[in-house]
Amino acid sequence: MRVIKTPGRLKGDDDYLNRLLSYFQSQFYEKIIQLAPIRKSVFLLRTENHTYIIKGYHSDNRLKLQEAFTATLRKEGFLKTYMFLTNPMKEPLFFEGTYYGCIEYIPPHKDAFSFQTQRNRQEGLDLVKQFHKTTASVESRYRTLLPNGQLIEKWSERLRVFSGNLPYITYFLDEYMISDLMTWANWSLAGMIKKRRFFQKEPNVILHGDVAHHNFLRDRKGQLNLIDFDLISIGPPSFDYLQYANRILPNIGWSLGKLGSLKPLGKYLEEEAFLYALAFPADIFREWNRLIREKAYTDPAKIRQVMDLTVNQFDLRKNFFSQLQEKVK
């Protein structure tokens, strides 16, 4: 059996992986031939006959919630995702303070899913809509288990943190950029608060909470799957669609027209609350706040990534904001 190491991994990490591999081998019925890190607390595990994804959780309750939720999805007919497995193991996995779940491995398609094509963007939206339709019927069962999605409060806090980080950020961004970002954010939040009734009247569903391209997985047969439900919460479908729109706008040149050509986003562009929300620079604030929280501002590569996100399409974003202002007049 072997651990596949990644470049630059610290020796201490390798020691942990070797201990983890030894523990997994004691708990799986089949001989393990490979353990490869994918990202933090997520591993690819191969046995002589099968492949699994192993994912770590900080508490047993979080793991059980994920197991229950994915089982509920499948029971309700949403089959375009993975399921948790118990049969490969002798007992539940717990190692050095982390609870591990064993997840069905979905062999990926040779072409990874991305938001670069109109077909993929629409297919992803269709899958999110199907997910919402399924979770609308089970949302009441999870009300005591999941947090409520509080988008206005979340973004207000993100703006507050960004504002507090300005003494660092001003070393990297021009003053006019910072001024525009703050203008967009304040205009957006003020409008969302004024029009919040729209979000309150939408029927609640269970939100995915992270509709980034890496959480859509096309399998070998071509079926698109939705994965990774760590950030599920209860709220209006528009919260997921806002995040989806924010993710795809860079791929469509920040075009309001192209955004409106996608169903069901087109109907949301008739709602002022949604238009106000589209102006919030959530991605830029998120990445700057993370950079400073992790004290990564001395890392040239990470600085370059965040600068590229902020600067490369800044003029397109500014024009997009002007269009939004015109639509809500």
CATH label of the domain that carries residue 184? 3.90.1200.10
Tell me which DSSP letter residue 249 carries: G
d(CA 122, CA 246): 14
In this structure, are 138 and 30 located in the same domain? Answer: no
> Could you give the number of structural domains in the chain?
2
Q: Which of 104, 134, 161 is the last residue of a domain?
A: 104
Q: Where would I find the H helices in 103-142?
A: 118-136
Residue 10's pLDDT is what? 42
Do residues 128 and 253 touch, judged by C-beta distance below 8 A? Answer: no
In this structure, are 133 and 273 located in the same domain? Answer: yes
Question: Is residue 63 a part of any domain in this protein?
Answer: yes
Residue 177's pLDDT is what? 98
Residue 276's pLDDT is what? 98
Question: Is residue 110 a part of any domain in this protein?
Answer: no
Do residues 279 and 286 touch, judged by C-beta distance below 8 A? Answer: no
Do residues 44 and 36 touch, judged by C-beta distance below 8 A? Answer: yes
Residue 14's pLDDT is what? 83
Residue 215's pLDDT is what? 98
In this structure, are 298 and 194 located in the same domain? Answer: yes
In this structure, are 59 and 126 located in the same domain? Answer: no
What pTM was computed for the model? 0.93
In this structure, are 96 and 172 located in the same domain? Answer: no
Counting as low any pLDDT under 70, the low residues of the chain are: 1-12
Helix (H) or strand (E) holding 86: none
Q: Which of 80, 104, 128 is the last residue of a domain?
A: 104
Question: Is residue 2 a part of any domain in this protein?
Answer: no
Residue 9's pLDDT is what? 46
Question: Is residue 5 a part of any domain in this protein?
Answer: no
In this structure, are 97 and 238 located in the same domain? Answer: no
Residue 308's pLDDT is what? 97
Backbone angle region of 250, left / alpha / beta, with phi > 0 → left and psi within -120 to 50 → alpha: alpha
User: Cβ–Cβ contacts within 10 Å for residue 102, how many?
Assistant: 22
In this structure, are 69 and 129 located in the same domain? Answer: no
User: 45: domain range?
Assistant: 11-104
Question: Is residue 264 a part of any domain in this protein?
Answer: yes
Torsion over CA of 288, 290, 296 and 298, rounded to 10 degrees?
20
Question: Is residue 25 a part of any domain in this protein?
Answer: yes
Q: What are phi and psi of 40, to 5 degrees?
A: -55, 125
Residue 13's pLDDT is what? 76
In this structure, are 32 and 135 located in the same domain? Answer: no
Residue 4's pLDDT is what? 52
Q: Measured over all CA atoms, what is the biggest interatomic distance in the chain, rounded to whole angstroms? A: 66
Question: Is residue 148 a part of any domain in this protein?
Answer: yes
Domain containing 36 — which CATH number?
A: 3.30.200.20
Do residues 23 and 54 touch, judged by C-beta distance below 8 A? Answer: no
Do residues 70 and 57 touch, judged by C-beta distance below 8 A? Answer: no
Residue 3's pLDDT is what? 53
In this structure, are 78 and 188 located in the same domain? Answer: no
In this structure, are 311 and 241 located in the same domain? Answer: yes
Structure tokens at 75: 């029971």
In this structure, are 35 and 123 located in the same domain? Answer: no
Tell me the sheet residues that pair with 216: 226
65-96 residue pLDDT tens = 999 999 999 999 999 999 999 999 999 999 99
Residue 253's pLDDT is what? 97
In this structure, are 33 and 124 located in the same domain? Answer: no
Question: Is residue 258 a part of any domain in this protein?
Answer: yes
Q: Which of 104, 137, 158 is the last residue of a domain?
A: 104
